[in-house]
Structure 1
Amino acid sequence: MTRIVLLFVLLSLNYHSHADLIADTCKKSEYPDLCNSTLRSDPRSAKADAKGLTRIMLEVALTKASTTFNQVKNLLSKTTEPVLKRCLAICADMYDSIVEEIPKAIQNVGLDNNEANHQADLALTDVDTCESIFSEEPNKRKSPLTANNNAVRHLVAIAEDILVSLG
């Protein structure tokens, strides 16, 4: 009986230490609520170290980027309006790059954090390019991708915040 209680206490302490790692990590993030909800919703986070949390965040960002890329391609295939088609074509190129850059960042986490950060920065630049193309004059218009662009941007930014803490 004593062993069972001891085992329970040790498991409980281990859980709380990981929960504290998530809380501590997310407090340092630009988007702490999104960081907490994203990491706590992934069961792998419970046993992950800071490098693992970074990879998880980048994987979630990649999933969102892939979904956005598919949305862009779908909108592009249905659009006949020339200016919108041009904007979406640029976004398709940007998201094609993003879905290549994020896996490179994931691969470099813990091996070359500077390179991981560089790849994440490239992805952020591409997201910004996609969003800003819609506001260029003289054909300024509302981007149909703002919500998705913001989601990808925030997830990658959180990953970068965690990367910074790794040194």
Structure 2
Amino acid sequence: MGFSCVFILLFLSISFHPTHGNSDLIQKTCKNTNYYDLCISSLKSDSTSPKSDTKGLAVIMVKVGISNATATVSYLSTQLSTSTNDTLMKKVMKECAQKYAFASDSLQNSVQDLGAELYDYAYMHVMAAADYPNACKNAFKRYSGLIYPPEIAVREEGLKHICDVAMSIIENLLATN
């Protein structure tokens, strides 16, 4: 009976402390991305990552993208209410907010696809989310005299990098299926 208790305790301690093994999984996963530091910091900042497999890491990264897109929608909405009375600028800002909302929706779809192990669809939705900010930038280009705000450019680049990392992780899932 004593041996079985020791075995159970050993099993439980291994089962509930997978951090080292997962740290290796995070490192291995992030090495296959174009933005290693972003990948590492994003995955390690999530409290569920120690218990995650590759699919779980993909979900975490996609959720980082959702947060980014949602924060950008909030930022743009704030800019709409506090910006000048320039109706053209407001029109373009509103269009940009819609594009980032579409990006967020697309990423939400990706989370659902990952849950259903539909990795090709998950990849497609993340790829679409990465492209929505281009429509925002193009909206500014359509009107002479409007300058693409650097704050939005930084947010665009951030979302594209996050999506790039998520797509790399999903590619790993596609390769193993």
Q: TM-score range by the shorter chain?
A: 0.7 to 0.9
Q: Which moved more, 1:157-166 or 1:87-96?
A: 87-96
Whole-angstrom CA distance in 2 between matches of 1:92 and 1:14? 40
Greater mean alpha carbon deviation, residues 140-149 or residues 40-49:
140-149
Give the AA of the match of 2:29: T
**Contact conserved, 1:35 with 1:158, CA < 8 A, in 2?**
yes
Question: Normalised by the size of structure 1, how large is the TM-score?
Answer: 0.87
Instruction: Check whether the contact 1:83–1:139 (CA below 8 A) recurs between aligned residues.
Output: no
Q: Name the residue aligned to 1:34.
A: 38
Q: List gaps (5 residues or longer) in structure 2.
A: none
Pair 1:166-2:170 in alignment: no
Partner of 2:93: 88
In 2, distance between residues paired with 1:130 and 1:85? 13
CA distance in 2, matches of 1:85, 1:125: 22
Return 150-159 or 100-109, whichever deviates more.
Answer: 150-159
SS at the partner of 1:42?
Answer: coil
Q: Which moved more, 1:124-133 or 1:23-32?
A: 124-133
Q: Does the CA contact (< 8 Å) of 1:39 and 1:57 recur in 2?
A: yes
Aligned counterparts of 1:52 and 1:106: Cα–Cα separation in 2 = 10
Shift of 1:127: 1.6
Instruction: Please report how far the alpha carbon of residue 13 of structure 1 lies from its aligned counterpart in structure 2 after TM superposition.
Output: 7.9
Percent identity of paired positions between Structure 1 and Structure 2? 25
TM-score by length of 2: 0.82
Count of residue correspondences? 167
Distance in 2 (alpha carbons) for counterparts of 1:106 and 1:7: 32
Alpha carbons 2:80, 2:90 under 8 Å: kept? yes
AA partner of residue 98 (structure 1):
A
| Stretches of structure 1 lacking an aligned partner (at least 5 in a row) | none
Query: Which residue, 123, 129, 141 being the options, matches 2:129?
Result: 123
Find 1:100's aligned residue among 101, 105, 115.
105
Deviations, residues 5-50 of structure 1 (Å, cap 9, x unaligned) = 9569846983222111000000111110000011111121111000
